[in-house]
Amino acid sequence: MSQKTNMQCLIRPYRPTDKSAVISLLRLGILEHIYPAFFKAMMHTDHIGVTLSISVAGYVLGGSSYLQALLFGGAWISLIYFCCYDFYDTYLKRRLDVEMSDIQANFLDSPASNFWVAETEVNGTSNVAGLLAVVGVQDGVSCNRNDGCEQAGSLGGIFQLIVSSPQRRKGLGIWLVETAVEFCKEQGFSRVVVEISSPQTAALSLFRKLGFTVTNNNTPSNPWVSKLARINIIRMEKYL
C-alpha cells in the first residue's frame, strides 16, 4: 500500500523501534477517557438523584450532620469514579497483555492484518502522533496467514484508533481510518467494524463522518461496573 503524506505528517507501517512510543500513546489515549466518562455519568439524572438521596440519608443518620452528608455523598461519587477508572484500566491491561505483547505476531505476520503509525515532525524531531491497527477476521475467527480472508463474509476489525492530543482536529484520524479502509478493500473484506465506548463522542462522530453506522450496543464483560459507570460498547461498521 502506498504511504500517505500531508505537510509534515507521514502514515507508515509500524516498526519495532516504535513500540515504546506506541505503548505510551496507547496508555494515554485510553486512560484519558476516565474523567469524561466520570463527569458524563455523574451528570445523568439517575446518579444525581442517588447522590442527593445518599447525602440526605447521611445528614439524617448523622443527626443533622453536614459532614456525614458529605461523607455519604462522597463515598457514592468515589464509587462511580472507581467504576469509570476500572473500566478503562482493565481494558488497557488486556490490550497490553494480549495484542501489544507481540505486535509483530499479532498484527504484522498475517497478510490480513496491519498496524500503522502517524509520524509527525516537530522542530526537526519525529514523533509518533497516532496509531491504528486492523485485524482480519472470518466468522469470528482470526484469518489464517496462508489462506487469507478473501471468502465472503470476511471483515477487518479496527483494533484501536488513537491520535495524540496536540495533533487532533487536523484530519489525522480521518487519514488513519481511510488507510485502514483502503487496506481492507485490498484484502477483499466485505466490511470494516469498530467498537467504541459510549463516552468517546469525538470518535463516534469521526466514524459516522466516514460512513460507519451503529449496528449494536453491547454491555461489557463486567455489567455492574458498566452500569454504574454508564458505559456501553457501541459497534459500528462500514460496508465496502
Instruction: Convert the pLDDT of each residue in 196-221 to its tens digit.
Output: 999 999 999 999 999 999 998 876 76
DSSP state letter for 159: E
Q: What is the pLDDT of residues 124-164, one digit of tens each?
A: 778 899 999 999 986 544 454 444 444 445 899 999 999 99
pLDDT of residue 217: 81
Domain contains 182 = yes
Domain contains 169 = yes
**Shared domain check, 53 and 148:** no
Domain contains 29 = no
| CA distances (Å), origin 189, targets 45, 82, 90 | 42, 39, 30
**Shared domain check, 181 and 108:** yes
What integer is the mean pLDDT of 33-61? 94
Assess contact for 34 and 19: CB atoms under 8 A: no
Residue type for position 183: F
Residue 182: which domain range? 4-17+102-239
Domain contains 26 = no
**Shared domain check, 106 and 89:** no
**Shared domain check, 200 and 173:** yes
Count how many domains the chain has.
Answer: 2
Domain contains 24 = no
**Shared domain check, 201 and 121:** yes
How large a percentage of the chain has pLDDT more than 70? 90
**Shared domain check, 114 and 56:** no
**Shared domain check, 197 and 181:** yes
Distance between CA atoms of residues 174 and 120, nearest Å:
15
**Shared domain check, 190 and 135:** yes
pLDDT of residue 153: 55
**Shared domain check, 51 and 12:** no
How large a percentage of the chain has pLDDT more than 90? 74
| CA distances (Å), origin 130, targets 61, 83, 168, 174, 223 | 52, 27, 9, 11, 31
Assess contact for 194 and 167: CB atoms under 8 A: no
